[in-house]
């Protein structure tokens, strides 16, 4: 009877299902009920505020820009020389997620919703895609706060949403306030929610509990507004980008819905079908709400360059990574300067499996106490959470045949690494942890004892189940430890040491101590039962403190706290590009500006970190046939050796940017024959002749030792003419030298008169001398001279900037067209160098004759539109070297014009004789349709919610007025 009453839906649909009736509570138990929720709230606040730390006070930024300034050109700035990031796993956050958000926020503050980012990788969708979480509610701080301050507030909001959603969901499951809050803390501090911080991924995963809460509302109340709540929660996830997290959530939530409906309604199929229909409506509502981004995203991704994302059954996490469940740093840290760096083949962001020692004890408690767990939760819930946890554990860590079956399904498993499903696994484990604490707190004091089983028949089965659960956990722990020690041994073997195996032992020892302490607390709560007392109070209070304390030991070394000066600073290299680049592009070449960080400074780059149009990807990688290119990391194929490629001319790459440590293209001028060794003493200038005559691009030294120099160690070179007058100067970090390998010192000396005799004055500013190969009585100095390669070393400061003198303008006139329908031959033609600047390569024969000339002037050049004034003398083609073949439209004098596919990845418009205004606009049919659908869905959801609120208000008014006021039914 007690269990039956506990599972009966509540009479008032606005209140959660009631908890099972409790026994009379002692004063000590009532005191615990008052104290424990406050303690858990304090633990959550401590985790959030101390974990994020100084960025919340404006003293630093919660962005990994301290890693960014370790690469050129920032690394050459003296104030950044000694910056050592503690986490170099956060690349994508500062090189893609943040710059795109900054561009969108800047445009939004000027009253413009930027659908397109023209600054990264030739040009990519921005507001028209959910990839950057620009529509997520959790991104709102970026639109109201300074960019450097917003990330910390975003993380705080993530924690609040994750904890709040867990609280609402668990309370619906009849879990007490304190365990529900603790479940939120466990989820917010679980591996996925910590290690993916800074990416959009955690902004998606933070809403997982809200989705399950909405599903449970549908099961319990089955009202249209519950479907609206589900639509809003799901829309928040979709707007956050990274659809795999949403997919894992929907798949798991769908199973949960079916289990709960069948368990609750049994053979009342109409009620179950009604619940399914409401949930389907909620999912459809969430999708339609986000159509404004989803439809353009689907259209773009159908033409995007996506390769190498297929999955195999052996692509899963190692069992060794399970040791990080209770010892997060057992397998190494994120700090490359620390004693032990992460060494599993799968990187830390993908492998980390942290849950916490105390949380693990509570999870095992919830699973082991099967009978009490089933009674404590609504029908079917306990079975679902245990079974789904086991399934996800097998898929994520076991792989094999089950994963192969899952990968046969379209998209979700076939194109995404299964380890990312830790987002849902962390949620499931957090629910079980909350249940474990609930069962310990209910012991004798808060819940009725299970009905006695006849003749004690159930007890052997209960003991067998507890033994099975504990045995399975123990076996998994032993296997994980074995694999972890083996991985550490393999990593230690090249050095013959035991550094990593020792670290595994030390870190795991700490985790085991915390595990034993949590076990002691759980045992005290269980065996004290209804007797209350100080021991029970201390044990209950200590468990959330253990959860928060160990979580802090995990997040404090991981989460970034960078100096505000590192937040997208402007160097002399950036200033040079700002002054000279104009509407054209640069390309990051050798360890400098190769990503999308410069988007934040609104500098157009041919390279970057983004999904790009397939044809653009093919074009930029064509100089080397595909080398140095990945689906989302867009680099020039062939690296620095391809800087002179004619393909880049057609892409309007006006400048190539290289770090000062990179090789310098040009004509080598070897040093005189070496006769021995010499040392450049610290702070002692040495002047040596330069081979050949001016102009030159670099001088070259040859070190005799391999070593990594201190960040502040520098070498200065001053180029002198025959009169001793300085004509060029470079001061660069020494960085790393390799024995018998050239050390380049680029010099902007291409304007030196031909035939001029040059010398170089070299000074080492370091704690010790630089040993070099010698020629005669001093250092052997080689050089790199100029070449007929269309390059000019125009600037040397914090980076070396090569002007590409043959580059075509981004907006240009082509009088004649060359037709080549075959893609491979077209790429060969573009990189052949045989085309003239007056020619454009089209895929089909044009209708206009061409042959004219024109004056072209850009009159407007924003994120989503480019306007050009053309004065043509005869017909021809206006070419725009942007990858806008999809999603863009063109008009000539206000009338629609056909966008011709030009130069493989770009566009052209046929222009007749005369003066014309041509406008290119990002305005796709998918985007317009999606906008109207989203608006309609938003109005529908709002209508459902308002109607439900009005209906509830009327019902309350009728109840308060008494039975006599009810309308007559006669």
Q: Which of 937, 956, 946 is nearest to 282 (CA)?
A: 937
- SS3 state at 100: helix
Q: Which of 632, 645, 561, 452 is nearest to 57 (CA)?
A: 561
The pLDDT tens digits for 904-962 are: 999 999 999 999 999 999 987 788 898 999 999 999 999 999 998 888 888 888 777 76
The segment with the largest mean pLDDT, out of 22-26, 215-219, 336-340, is: 215-219
The pLDDT tens digits for 364-401 are: 999 999 999 999 999 999 999 999 999 999 999 998 89
Contact call for residues 799 and 75 (beta carbons, < 8 A):
no
CA dist., res. 801 & res. 494, Å (int): 40
509 vs 447, which has greater pLDDT? 509
CA dist., res. 844 & res. 943, Å (int): 51
Mean pLDDT (whole number) for 140-155: 97
> Which phi and psi angles does 445 have, rounded to 5°?
-85, -35
Count of all residues that appear for the chain in the document: 970
- SS3 state at 860: strand
pLDDT band with cut points at 50, 70 and 90 for residue 6: very low
pLDDT band with cut points at 50, 70 and 90 for residue 639: low
CA dist., res. 139 & res. 147, Å (int): 11
Q: Which of 87, 85, 193 is nearest to 551 (CA)?
A: 193
CA dist., res. 29 & res. 300, Å (int): 59
**What is the rounded radius of gyration, in angstroms, for the C-alpha atoms of the chain?**
33
Mean pLDDT (whole number) for 12-35: 61
The pLDDT tens digits for 829-850 are: 999 999 999 999 999 887 777 7
> Which phi and psi angles does 280 have, rounded to 5°?
-60, -40
Contact call for residues 536 and 521 (beta carbons, < 8 A):
no
pLDDT at 966: 44
The pLDDT tens digits for 600-631 are: 999 999 999 999 999 998 898 887 655 455 66
Is 80 exceeded by the pLDDT of residue 4?
A: no
pLDDT at 625: 55
pLDDT at 673: 87
Percentage of residues in the chain having pLDDT higher than 90: 77
CA dist., res. 628 & res. 522, Å (int): 54
The pLDDT tens digits for 468-500 are: 999 999 999 999 999 999 999 999 988 888 899
pLDDT at 301: 87
CA dist., res. 368 & res. 366, Å (int): 6
Cβ neighbours of residue 97 closer than 8 Å, sequence gap 6 or more: 132, 133, 198, 199, 200
CA dist., res. 633 & res. 607, Å (int): 8
Is 50 exceeded by the pLDDT of residue 448?
A: no
pLDDT at 590: 79
pLDDT at 715: 97
774 vs 21, which has greater pLDDT? 774
The pLDDT tens digits for 553-602 are: 999 999 999 999 999 999 999 999 999 999 999 999 878 998 899 999 99
CA dist., res. 20 & res. 18, Å (int): 6
Question: What value, to the nearest 5°, has the Cα angle with vertex 902 and ends 852 and 810?
Answer: 75
Is 60 exceeded by the pLDDT of residue 189?
A: yes
What the chain holds in terms of domains, given with CATH numbers, is: 2-51+128-303+319-450+461-556 (no CATH), 566-658 (no CATH), 667-788 (2.60.120), 811-923 (2.60.420)
Contact call for residues 407 and 311 (beta carbons, < 8 A):
yes
Mean pLDDT (whole number) for 288-299: 93
Taking the whole predicted model, whether its pTM rises above 0.85 is answered as yes
């Amino acid at each position: 009877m007690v269990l039956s009453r506990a599972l009966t839906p509540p009479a008032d649909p606005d209140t959660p299902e009631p908890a099972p009736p409790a026994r009379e509570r002692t004063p000590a138990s009532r005191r615990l009920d008052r104290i424990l929720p406050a303690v858990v709230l304090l633990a959550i606040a401590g985790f959030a505020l101390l974990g994020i730390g100084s960025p919340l006070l404006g003293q630093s930024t919660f962005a990994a820009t301290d890693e960014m300034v370790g690469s050129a050109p920032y690394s050459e700035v003296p104030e950044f020389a000694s910056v050592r990031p503690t986490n170099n796993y956060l690349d994508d956050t500062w090189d893609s997620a943040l710059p795109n958000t900054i561009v969108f926020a800047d445009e939004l503050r000027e009253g413009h919703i930027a659908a397109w980012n023209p600054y990264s990788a030739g040009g990519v969708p921005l507001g028209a895609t959910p990839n950057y979480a620009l529509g997520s509610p959790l991104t709102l701080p970026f639109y109201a706060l300074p960019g450097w301050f917003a990330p910390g507030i975003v993380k705080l909001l993530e924690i609040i949403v994750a904890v709040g959603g867990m609280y609402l969901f668990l309370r619906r499951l009849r879990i007490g306030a304190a365990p529900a809050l603790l479940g939120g803390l466990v989820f917010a501090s679980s591996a996925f929610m910590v290690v993916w911080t800074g990416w959009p991924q955690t902004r998606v995963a933070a809403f997982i509990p809200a989705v399950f809460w909405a599903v449970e509302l549908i099961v319990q109340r089955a009202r249209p507004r519950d479907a609206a709540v589900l639509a809003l929660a799901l829309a928040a996830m979709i707007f956050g980008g990274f659809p795999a997290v949403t997919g894992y959530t929907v798949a798991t939530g769908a199973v949960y819905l079916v289990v709960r409906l069948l368990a609750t309604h049994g053979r009342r199929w109409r009620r179950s079908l009604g619940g399914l229909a409401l949930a389907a409506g909620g999912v459809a509502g969430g999708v339609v709400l986000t159509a404004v981004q989803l439809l353009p995203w689907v259209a773009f991704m159908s033409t995007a360059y996506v390769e190498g994302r297929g999955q195999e059954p052996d692509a899963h996490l190692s069992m060794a990574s399970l040791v990080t469940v209770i010892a997060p740093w057992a397998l190494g840290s994120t700090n490359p300067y620390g004693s032990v760096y992460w060494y599993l083949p799968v990187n830390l962001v993908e492998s980390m499996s942290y849950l916490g020692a105390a949380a693990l004890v509570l999870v095992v408690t919830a699973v082991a106490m099967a009978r009490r767990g089933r009674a404590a939760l609504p029908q079917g819930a306990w079975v679902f959470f245990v079974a789904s946890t086991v399934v996800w554990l097998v898929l994520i860590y076991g792989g094999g045949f089950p994963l192969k079956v899952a990968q046969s399904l379209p998209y979700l498993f076939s194109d995404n690494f299964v380890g990312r499903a830790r987002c849902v696994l962390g949620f499931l484990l957090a629910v079980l942890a909350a249940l474990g604490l609930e069962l310990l707190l209910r012991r004798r004091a808060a819940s009725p004892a299970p009905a006695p089983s006849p003749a004690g028949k159930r007890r052997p089965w209960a003991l067998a189940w507890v033994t099975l659960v504990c045995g399975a956990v123990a076996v998994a722990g032993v296997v994980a430890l074995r694999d972890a020690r083996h991985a550490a041994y393999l990593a230690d073997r090249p050095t013959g040491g035991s550094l990593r195996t020792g670290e595994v032992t030390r870190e795991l020892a700490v985790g085991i101590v915390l595990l034993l302490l949590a076990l002691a607390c759980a045992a005290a709560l269980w065996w004290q039962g209804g007797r209350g007392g100080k021991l029970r109070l201390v044990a209950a209070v200590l468990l959330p403190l253990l959860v928060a304390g160990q979580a802090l030991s995990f997040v404090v070394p991981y989460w970034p706290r960078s100096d505000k000066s590192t937040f997208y600073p402007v160097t002399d290299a950036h200033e040079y590009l700002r002054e000279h680049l104009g509407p054209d592009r640069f390309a990051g070449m050798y360890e400098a500006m190769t990503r999308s960080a410069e988007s934040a400074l609104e500098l157009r780059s041919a390279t970057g970190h983004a999904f790009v149009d397939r044809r653009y990807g093919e074009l930029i990688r064509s100089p080397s046939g595909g080398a140095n290119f990945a689906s989302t990391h867009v680099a020039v194929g062939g690296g620095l050796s391809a800087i002179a490629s004619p393909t880049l001319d057609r892409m309007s790459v006006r400048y190539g940017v290289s770090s000062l440590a990179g090789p310098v293209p040009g004509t080598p001028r070897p040093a005189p024959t070496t006769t021995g060794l010499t040392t450049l003493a610290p702070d002692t200038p040495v002047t040596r002749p330069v081979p050949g005559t001016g102009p030159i691009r670099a001088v070259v030294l040859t070190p005799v030792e391999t070593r990594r120099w201190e960040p502040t160690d520098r070498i200065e070179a001053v180029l002198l003419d025959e009169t001793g007058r300085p004509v060029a100067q470079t001061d660069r970090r020494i960085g790393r030298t390799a024995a018998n390998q050239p050390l380049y010192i680029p010099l902007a000396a291409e304007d030196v008169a031909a035939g001029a005799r040059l010398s170089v004055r070299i000074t080492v500013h370091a704690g010790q001398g630089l040993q070099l190969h010698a020629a005669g009585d001093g250092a052997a100095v080689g050089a790199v001279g100029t070449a007929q390669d269309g390059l000019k070393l125009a600037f040397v400061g914090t980076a070396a900037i090569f002007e590409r003198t043959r580059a075509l303008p981004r907006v240009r006139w082509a009088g004649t067209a060359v037709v080549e329908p075959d893609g491979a031959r077209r790429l060969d033609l573009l990189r052949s160098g045989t085309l003239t600047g007056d020619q454009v390569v089209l895929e089909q024969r044009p209708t206009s004759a061409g042959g004219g000339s024109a004056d072209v002037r850009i009159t407007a050049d924003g994120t989503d539109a480019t306007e050009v004034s053309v004065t043509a003398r005869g017909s021809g083609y206006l070419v725009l070297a942007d990858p806008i073949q999809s999603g863009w439209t063109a008009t000539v004098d206000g009338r629609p014009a056909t966008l011709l596919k030009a130069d493989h990845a770009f566009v052209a418009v046929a222009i007749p004789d005369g003066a014309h205004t041509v406008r290119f606009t990002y305005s796709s049919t998918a985007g317009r349709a999606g906008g109207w659908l989203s608006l309609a869905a938003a109005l529908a959801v709002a209508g459902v919610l308002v109607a439900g609120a009005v209906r509830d208000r009327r019902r309350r008014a009728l109840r308060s007025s008494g039975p006599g006021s009810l309308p007559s039914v006669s």
